[in-house]
Amino acid sequence: MLPVEIKTHTSLSEQMSDEKPNPHAAVGAVNVAHLYREDSQGKVLGRLLLPRPTDDPRDPLTWSVWRKHLALITIYFFVFLSNYITSSVNPILINIATDFKVSITKASWLITFNLLFLGIGNLF
Dihedral sign of CA atoms 109, 112, 118, 123 in order: negative
pLDDT in tens, 5-30: 444 444 444 445 555 555 555 555 44
Residue 5 covered by a domain: no
Q: Phi and psi dihedrals of 45, rounded to 5? A: -95, -25
Which among 67, 62, 105, 113 has a CA at the least distance from the CA of 86?
A: 113
Report the alpha-carbon distance of residue 115 to residue 93 in Å, rounded.
15
pLDDT the model gives residue 19: 53
Please count the structural domains in the chain: 2
- Enumerate the H helices of the chain as residue ranges: 12-18, 65-87, 93-99, 104-121
- Domain coverage including residue 23: 16-47
Residue 52 lies in a domain: no
